[in-house]
């Protein structure tokens, strides 16, 4: 029998991890499924969606014309037990339930869900005491580098420059500002040497008075099918510096998530636990 080039690559590449994916019927879930099926070292082991999803019982590869042995289910525990890494880009409440299942089964996790409150983030950190978790508001390589550039710019430009963060997403996004915008705000605050919780300004309306020095402003735009756009503006006297990232496809987030999956699978194989982010995945931690 003659193998195709992809079959030959698959046969030659060792399996790194079996992947379970949450939100399989959604836009991001489908992008993750496509990327996993296209990889040569990752195997789609399971796919989960909410109990009332019309996708339940269907082949997760069907939307892309692919046939797999997997069927989308609402049985999270069954899927988690069948995989090495569980990837979740859903909603905070669901993600925490999924992480509980991962912790029970000793399965690593990649979390790209946004909108967590402080208690939710603390719960994720608690689960990371027993399993390895990559948790990032944005899995994009470009955004990870952008955050470092923002921190460095805020440090170098100092208090003479006002900081504003503008983000835009599609009409279906439910949280605001985006998790990425908040991450960029944290980076700016770190560079400026301030606490974001004390300096963030999330809304302006009416007679607001002059801009308070040292604040970090956020503006949120929603509409259409925009995948994600983020700009950090450093406005000085007579000059302005803008750092911008535009995502034109969810595939860049999916590709980053799979890089995170490979990383966290390695942590699990080495019997290490902990809470990691994309700087860890990309080996950039030493330069932060």
Write the DSSP assignment of 101-170 as a string of letters.
HHHHHT-EEEE------HHHHHHHHHHTTTSEEEE-S---HHHHHHHHHHHHHHHHHGGGSEEEEEEEE-
**Same domain, yes or no, for 150 and 268?**
no
Q: How confident is the model at residue 8 (pLDDT cuts 50, 70, 90)?
A: low
The per-residue pLDDT for 249 is: 85
CATH number of the domain enclosing 233:
3.30.360.10
Q: How confident is the model at residue 1 (pLDDT cuts 50, 70, 90)?
A: very low
* Cross-strand bridge partners of residue 42: 17
Exposure b/e, 28-40, CB count within 10 A at least 16 = b: bbbbbbbbbbebb
Task: Give pTM, 2 decimals.
Answer: 0.79
114 vs 24, more confident? 24
**Same domain, yes or no, for 243 and 208?**
yes
Vertex 140 angle, CA 138 and 144, to 5°: 80
- The alpha carbons of the chain give a radius of gyration, in whole angstroms, of 20
Q: Which of 63, 98, 121, 169 is catalytic?
A: 169
**Same domain, yes or no, for 150 and 255?**
no
Tokens, residue 64: 């892309």
In order of 55, 87, 102, 181, 246, the CA distances from 172 in angstroms are 19, 21, 28, 17, 18
Report the distance separating Cα 148 and Cα 130, nearest Å.
Answer: 29
Report the distance separating Cα 48 and Cα 21, nearest Å.
Answer: 6
Q: In whole numbers, what is the pLDDT of the chain averaged over residues?
A: 93
* Cross-strand bridge partners of residue 108: 85
CATH number of the domain enclosing 110:
3.40.50.720
Q: Is 63 a catalytic residue?
A: no
Say how many Å lie between the first and final Cα of the chain, rounded. 51
What's the total number of domains in the chain? 2
**Same domain, yes or no, for 198 and 279?**
no
**Same domain, yes or no, for 113 and 223?**
no
Largest CA distance in the chain: 76
pLDDT by residue (tens digit) across 174-231? 999 999 999 999 999 999 999 999 999 999 999 999 999 999 999 999 999 999 999 9
Dihedral over Cα of 52, 64, 44, 252: its sign: negative
**Same domain, yes or no, for 42 and 30?**
yes
pLDDT, average across residues 26-37: 95
**Same domain, yes or no, for 266 and 235?**
no
Report the distance separating Cα 50 and Cα 53, nearest Å.
Answer: 5
pLDDT by residue (tens digit) across 241-281? 999 999 998 888 999 999 999 999 999 999 999 999 999 99
The per-residue pLDDT for 37 is: 96
212 class by beta-carbon count within 10 Å (0-12 exposed, 13-18 middle, 19+ buried): exposed
The per-residue pLDDT for 65 is: 86
Report the distance separating Cα 103 and Cα 101, nearest Å.
Answer: 5
Quick one: what percent of the chain has pLDDT higher than 90?
84
What residues make up the domain containing 210?
Answer: 141-247
Q: Which of 63, 81, 121, 173 is catalytic?
A: 173
**Same domain, yes or no, for 11 and 122?**
yes
Q: Is 199 a catalytic residue?
A: no
Report the distance separating Cα 275 and Cα 108, nearest Å.
Answer: 11
**Same domain, yes or no, for 233 and 257?**
no
**Same domain, yes or no, for 33 and 131?**
yes
181 phi and psi angles, rounded to 5 deg: -60, -40
| DSSP-derived secondary structure letter, 82 | T
């Amino acid at each position: 029998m003659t193998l195709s080039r992809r079959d030959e690559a698959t046969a030659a590449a060792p399996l790194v991890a079996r992947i379970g994916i949450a939100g399989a019927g959604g836009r991001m879930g489908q992008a993750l499924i496509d990327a996993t099926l296209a990889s040569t070292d990752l195997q789609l082991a399971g796919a989960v969606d909410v109990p009332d999803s019309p996708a339940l019982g269907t082949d997760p590869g069907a939307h892309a014309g692919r046939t797999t042995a997997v069927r989308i289910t609402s049985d999270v525990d069954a899927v988690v037990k069948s995989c090495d890494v569980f990837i979740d880009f859903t909603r905070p409440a669901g993600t925490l339930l999924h992480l509980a299942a991962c912790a029970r089964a000793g399965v690593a996790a990649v979390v790209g869900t946004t909108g967590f409150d402080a208690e939710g983030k603390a719960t994720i950190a608690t689960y990371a005491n027993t399993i390895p978790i990559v948790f990032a508001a944005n899995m994009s390589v470009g955004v990870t580098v952008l955050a470092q550039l923002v921190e460095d710019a805020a440090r170098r430009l100092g208090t003479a420059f006002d900081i504003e963060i503008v983000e835009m997403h599609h009409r279906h996004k439910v949280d605001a500002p985006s998790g990425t915008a908040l991450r960029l705000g944290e980076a700016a605050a770190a560079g400026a040497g301030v606490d974001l919780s004390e300096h963030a300004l999330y809304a302006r309306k009416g007679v607001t008075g002059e801009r308070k020095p040292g604040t970090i402003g956020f503006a949120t735009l929603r509409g259409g099918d925009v995948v994600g756009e983020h700009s950090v503006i450093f406005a000085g006297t007579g000059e302005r510096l803008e750092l911008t990232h535009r995502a034109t496809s969810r595939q860049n987030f999916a590709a980053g998530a799979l890089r995170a999956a490979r990383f966290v699978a390695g942590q699990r194989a080495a019997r290490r636990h902990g809470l990691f982010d994309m700087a860890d995945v990309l080996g950039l931690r030493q330069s932060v």
